[in-house]
């Protein structure tokens, strides 16, 4: 009798999903590891900065606050020939005068005692550790037009890997189901590695999907517009546009500096016990509008109230984009507003950040454990 011929297995859908899972994982793996590790570093950025940088805090005092234009003038003395972007107030914290410009490119923050005007720190954000990590996490330290598509494409592949991994993980029977939810710590290292890849990957799937999809919204305009269109019932996402003051009128009630101080004082008077943050954007020229952003929860961004005013008449300017009054924001607007807060876990406070940190750490490990599984199978097939 001749030797029995091996029976060829039928290539099912699960087989092809597995092949795609393997090769797309190999292609995107190094980027997923990088994004996961940098995401872990950035998870508690604010908490680490608060614990290590005491110039961020100024004790509450029973004294009047210096108005925004005066703080701006003090900061301008520390940073001559640069244009201030905004002045930030928050109870118990030092005032921050932010300098941000695209051409020429610079980013500074001047920390000032809002009661005395003392300059506490002039910080070049381009040399800040977390800022450097953010630039890597967003753009791979490449020009944004190059780095962002690379990392966002890797994120999109990671989303597919999560879904395909779920298909591959799904148990066929009750007996198999019992083994898929636990990591057998006492098993041999190959089995342990297999469990770490499959079981931990399963447990973080939902959280990692949120992180991945919100990353895609930030990285791909077409995806952001699709999400907005879907959540709004078919409406086009309004794009952000600069707001301008009316310069055609003959009567001008105020200079832009005095106008900013008047509006700021009005906001303070309306809610003297406000515990959140207030940002005042003083326009650079007579065309610009004054923007005042009032955020009840400085740990997140999505609930901020953005108001715009004509610097000459102090009349409020209504805007059509999503970054206007919070009360006017639609459901789709709020979803887009909270995208970044969901991405970093801040939407759920410290517990949310802890969950995002753990999910990012496990996500970074999945390509490593996956490659080990692949190499082990490759070695076994050769034998």
Closest CA relative to residue 297, chosen from 319, 270, 321, 277 = 277
* Start-end of H helices in 204-290: 205-219, 221-231, 256-270
Residue with tokens 């000459």: 312
Torsion 147-153-154-155 (CA) sign:
positive
What backbone torsions phi and psi does residue 187 show, to the nearest 5 degrees? -80, 175
pTM of the entire predicted model: 0.88
Nearest-10 Cα torsion for 344, 349, 354, 356? -30
Distance CA 383, CA 379 (A): 7
- Over range 309-332, report the average pLDDT: 93
Confidence grade of residue 171 (pLDDT, cut at 50, 70, 90): confident
- Over range 179-186, report the average pLDDT: 78
Asked whether residue 4 is domain-assigned, the answer is no
Distance CA 73, CA 116 (A): 13
Asked whether residue 220 is domain-assigned, the answer is yes
Asked whether residue 166 is domain-assigned, the answer is yes
Distance CA 239, CA 225 (A): 10
Residue with tokens 């005692």: 113
Distance CA 372, CA 380 (A): 12
Partner residues linked to 317 by β-bridges: 308
pLDDT at site 108: 97
Domain range spanning residue 195? 16-45+133-236+345-378
Contact 281, 308 (CB under 8 A): no
Q: Is 79 helix (H, G, I), strand (E, B) or coil?
A: coil
Residue 358 has a CB neighbour count (10 Å cut-off) of 17
Average pLDDT of the chain to the nearest whole number? 90
pLDDT at site 1: 45
The DSSP bridge pattern shows strands 95-101 and 277-281 to be: unpaired
Asked whether residue 168 is domain-assigned, the answer is yes
pLDDT tens-digit map of 96-131: 999 998 888 999 999 999 999 999 999 999 999 999
Distance CA 297, CA 278 (A): 11
Asked whether residue 298 is domain-assigned, the answer is no
pLDDT tens-digit map of 201-250: 999 999 999 999 999 999 999 999 999 999 999 999 999 888 888 877 64
pLDDT at site 230: 96
Those residues with Cβ within 8 angstroms of residue 132's Cβ, 6 or more apart along the chain or in another chain: none
**Which long-range contacts (C-beta less than 8 Å, at least 24 apart) are formed by 293-297?**
294/267
Distance CA 206, CA 298 (A): 26
Asked whether residue 349 is domain-assigned, the answer is yes
Kindly tell me the burial class for residue 336, based on how many C-beta atoms sit within 10 Å of its own C-beta (0-12, 13-18, 19 or more).
Answer: buried
Asked whether residue 143 is domain-assigned, the answer is yes
pLDDT tens-digit map of 358-379: 999 999 999 999 998 888 776 6
Contact 314, 253 (CB under 8 A): yes
Domain count, the chain: 1
Asked whether residue 92 is domain-assigned, the answer is no
Contact 256, 280 (CB under 8 A): no
Residue 383 has a CB neighbour count (10 Å cut-off) of 4
pLDDT tens-digit map of 39-62: 999 999 999 999 999 999 999 999
Distance CA 93, CA 114 (A): 9
Token pair for 68: 């925004």
CA distances from 100 to 104, 126, 278 (A): 10, 11, 18
Distance CA 139, CA 158 (A): 17
């Amino acid at each position: 009798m001749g030797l029995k011929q091996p029976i060829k297995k039928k290539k099912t859908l699960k087989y092809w999903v597995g092949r795609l899972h393997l090769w797309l994982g190999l292609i995107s793996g190094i980027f997923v590891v990088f994004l996961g590790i940098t995401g872990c570093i950035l998870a508690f950025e604010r908490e680490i900065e608060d614990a290590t940088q005491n110039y961020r805090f100024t004790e509450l005092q029973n004294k009047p606050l210096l108005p925004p234009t005066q703080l701006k003038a003090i900061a301008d003395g520390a940073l001559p020939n640069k244009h201030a972007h905004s002045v930030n107030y928050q109870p118990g914290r030092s005032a921050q005068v932010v300098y941000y410009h695209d051409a020429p490119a610079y980013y500074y923050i001047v920390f000032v005692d809002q009661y005395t005007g003392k300059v506490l720190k002039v910080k070049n954000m381009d040399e800040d550790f977390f800022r450097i990590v953010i630039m890597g996490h967003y753009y791979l330290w490449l020009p944004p037009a190059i780095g962002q598509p690379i990392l966002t494409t890797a994120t999109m592949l990671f989303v597919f890997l999560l879904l395909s991994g779920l298909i591959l993980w799904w148990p066929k029977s009750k007996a198999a189901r019992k083994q898929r939810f636990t990591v057998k710590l006492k098993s041999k290292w190959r089995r342990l590695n297999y469990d770490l890849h499959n079981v931990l990957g399963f447990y973080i799937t939902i959280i990692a999907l949120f992180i991945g999809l919100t990353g895609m919204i930030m990285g791909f305009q077409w995806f952001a517009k699709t999400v907005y269109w879907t959540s709004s019932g078919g409406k086009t996402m309004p794009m952000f546009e600069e707001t301008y003051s009316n310069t055609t009128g003959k009567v001008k009630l105020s200079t832009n500096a005095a106008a900013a101080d008047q509006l700021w004082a009005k906001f303070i008077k309306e809610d003297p016990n406000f515990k959140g943050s207030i940002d005042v954007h003083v326009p650079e020229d007579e065309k610009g509008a004054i923007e005042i952003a009032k955020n009840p929860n400085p740990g997140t961004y999505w609930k901020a109230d953005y108001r715009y005013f004509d610097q000459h008449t102090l009349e409020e300017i209504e805007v059509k984009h999503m970054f206007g009054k919070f009360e006017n924001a639609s459901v789709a607007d709020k979803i887009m507003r909270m995208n970044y807060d969901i991405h970093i876990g801040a939407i759920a406070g410290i517990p949310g950040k802890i969950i995002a940190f753990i999910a990012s750490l496990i996500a970074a490990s999945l390509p490593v454990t996956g490659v080990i599984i692949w190499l082990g199978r490759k070695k076994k097939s050769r034998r």
